[in-house]
Amino acid sequence: MKSLTIGSRRSQLAQTQSNLIRQNLLAAWSDLQVEITLIDTQGDLNRVDPLPAIGGKGLFTLELEEALRRHQIDLAVHSLKDLPIEDSPGLTLVAVARRAAVNDVLISRLAGRLDDLPDGAVVGTSSLRRAAQVLALRPDLRIKDIRGNVDTRLRKLDDPAHGYDAILLAQAGLDRLKYQLEHAHPIPEAVILPAPGQGALAVQGRADDRTTTPYLEILDHAETRAAVTAERAFLGGLGGGCSLPVGALARVDNDQLFLQAVVGDAAGTRLIRVSGHDSIEEAQALGDQLARQALDQGAGILLQP
């Protein structure tokens, strides 16, 4: 019987996502045994400093990737939005599982929409992407960094000592953890575009592992792969990493891929929006093309530190 070991971060959400992949593998292969090994990452160990301050690139992936190279694990499961654009040396993105919800969620007992929050309300998020789009809509709101897993953030919201009136989270994470919150309000994509790859799970393996790869490829979902390829190509075309104030979302409709994207400055004083479409086979080219359009409109200046 073939045995595989999945590498996962320790957070409840990461373990839930790794278990989803484990269950899918067991359902697909009767001759497979799958275990999960928990690994600490830099982003998990430092839960105090803002993500951009400690270097957003690879904060939640580097230790898992090193375990792959050392053959301590056979595959790593990541939230795709956390995975750097470039393949890490010796590793490859073997599969992108079917995508869950892509939108963000406003969690607040004060209002069901960003528009309805009180003047000067404090909104918790560690994402420059969310902050830029929120401030573009409501420059009076105050953005306050918030770190920790979903439970920790919800507790901080409910504790007046932390001073949050609302927090922003991803719908996919709440759904996977089976949260049903009366004060959770989906945010339309027209208001806040998600991060490139948001809602999708990445299955990463060794590029030369011909024994394991055939077991993993069955997890790949073609439409999700095409969509996130375009989104990540847009981000890569800007020369940036996953912590930048960049949103992108692609959808497939009748073999056509429709991509919309936004670039902002951290203060939300300006947003650049671009959109376009092409065939699924041209996903990479579509993302590259829209990145050039955004750069032509001044995106490079907005993204400067």
Give residue-wise pLDDT tens across range 69-90. Answer: 999 999 999 999 988 898 899 9
**Which is nearest to 156 in space by CA: 172, 143, 141, 167?**
167
Q: Which tokens hold the place of 177?
A: 């953890």
Q: In 3-state terms, the chain is what percent helix, strand and coil (to 5)?
A: 35, 25, 40
The pLDDT value recorded for residue 44 is 62
What is the phi/psi pair of residue 32, to 5°? -120, 140
C-alpha–C-alpha distance, residues 127 and 129, integer Å:
5
- Does the pLDDT of residue 67 top 80, yes or no? yes
Check residues 105 and 53 and name the one with the higher pLDDT.
105
* Domains defined along the chain, listed by start: 1-97+201-220 (3.40.190.10), 104-186 (3.40.190.10), 221-305 (3.30.160.40)
C-alpha–C-alpha distance, residues 304 and 246, integer Å:
13
The pLDDT tens digits for 162-216 are: 999 999 999 999 999 999 999 999 999 999 999 999 999 999 999 999 999 999 9
The pLDDT value recorded for residue 196 is 96
Cβ(205)–Cβ(219) below 8 Å: no
The pLDDT value recorded for residue 40 is 87
Mean pLDDT of 1-14: 94
Q: In which band, very low, low, confident or very high, does the pLDDT at 47 lie, cut at 50, 70 and 90?
A: low
C-alpha–C-alpha distance, residues 270 and 292, integer Å:
18
Whether 74 sits among the annotated catalytic residues: the reply is no
What is the phi/psi pair of residue 188, to 5°? -60, 150
The pLDDT value recorded for residue 82 is 87
pTM confidence score: 0.92
Choice among 49, 74, 82, 296 that is catalytic: 82
DSSP helix/strand/coil, 186:
strand
For every residue of 74-107, DSSP letters joined together read: SEEEEEGGGS-SSPPTTEEEEEEPPP----EEEE
